Amino acid sequence: MVALYPGPVEVGGIRLRNHLLLAAGILGTTGASLARILANGAGGVVTKSIGPSPKEGHPGPCLVVVDGGIINAMGLPNPSAAFVDELASLAGEPVIVSIFGGTPEEFRTVAGWFAGKASGLELNLSCPHAEGYGAAIGSDPALVQECTRAVASLGVPTWVKLTPNVADIAEIGAAAERGGADAIVAVNTVKAMRISTALRRPVLGNRFGGLSGKAIFPVAVRCVYDLYEACSIPIVGCGGVSTADNVVEMMMAGASAVEIGSAVIDDIGIFAAIADDLYSLDGIDAGEIVGCAHA
């Protein structure tokens, strides 16, 4: 496997300690948990998605473990503006706040709370199980462009997280780039569900959810590959990454960095473990392999 030279990296206007970030929605609800992930080797962290008003989320069950992954339907629970207080202890750290809204105006409002208080913002235009938010907006190129522009115009580094649940993700990525995105994150979870044959009912309280974990890694690689062909801004690969070789594969598809989510549930030390395998003082610059799989 290719080894990379260790050290800080800048992606989409944000300086990271390394190429490995915590994905949104995993241990990102408090400043203490984010600090713990950074202390365990992450190059940066993305918070839980924060919206324009507090939400309790969907009724349980909200999560089911399946072969190769996890299906969740949390429903974007969050404390809204009160989350600003959680960032006080993380000043100067590579923290990216995930935000959502139902309109460009709501995105801009939420972004305004965190401008200057975080390294950057990640627009959640991709959650598959929150009606009126996430993928409901992220499947419309015009809305993606408008929401992105509303946030990017504040002058803060703006990443846009895309859904794989569209016919042409490259079209959506291009819309985000037109709106002023500094980077694209690909991808969020894949629409999924399970049914209890004993109860004859869906397992999740919301019926439907989003699949994450190793099972969606090939889907994410394809999405990153397609986006690299269509866009000129950096891409952050996300979806099923759990090994150093996965990181290298994502980079060869076109990713400049990766986010890790479900693998953290099994091992909070996953960032340090991957870094041990990925980096070497005689390794090459990551730029040599980013997108190298494209003929």
**How confident is the model over 105-155, as pLDDT tens digits?**
999 999 999 999 999 999 999 988 888 888 889 999 999 999 999 999 999
Residues in the chain: 295
Q: What percent of the chain has pLDDT over 70?
A: 100
User: 266: burial class by Cβ within 10 Å (0-12, 13-18, 19+)?
Assistant: exposed
Q: What local confidence, expressed as pLDDT, does residue 130 receive? A: 82
Domain segments of the chain as ranges: 9-54+92-191+210-288
Tokens representing residue 180 in the block: 């002023």
pLDDT exceeds 80 at position 295: no
Place of tokens 């208080």: 117
**Count of C-beta atoms within a 10 Å radius of residue 60:** 11
Instruction: Give the fold, CATH level 3, of 9-54+92-191+210-288.
Output: TIM Barrel (3.20.20)
Mean of the pLDDT values across residues 222-246?
A: 98
Catalytic, 223? Answer no
Does the annotation flag 72 for ligand binding?
A: yes
Rg (CA), the chain: 18
Rounded to 10 deg, the angle between the 141-152 and 169-178 helix axes is 30
Does the annotation flag 75 for ligand binding?
A: yes
Tokens representing residue 85 in the block: 């207080």
Does the annotation flag 40 for ligand binding?
A: no
Q: What local confidence, expressed as pLDDT, does residue 188 receive? A: 97
Q: Residues 4-26: pLDDT tens digits?
A: 999 999 999 999 999 999 999 99
Taking a C-beta distance cutoff of 8 angstroms, is the pair 279, 18 a contact?
yes
Q: What local confidence, expressed as pLDDT, does residue 135 receive? A: 85
Catalytic-role residue among 62, 127, 231, 238: 127
Peptide bond into 52 cis (omega under 30): no
Query: Which residue stretches of the chain are H helix?
Result: 31-39, 104-114, 135-138, 141-152, 169-178, 217-230, 244-253, 262-266, 270-278
Find, among 80, 153, 92, 148, the residue nearest to 117 by Cα.
92
**Average pLDDT across the chain, whole number:** 97
pTM: 0.97
Mean of the pLDDT values across residues 250-274?
A: 98
Residue type, 255: A
Does the annotation flag 74 for ligand binding?
A: yes
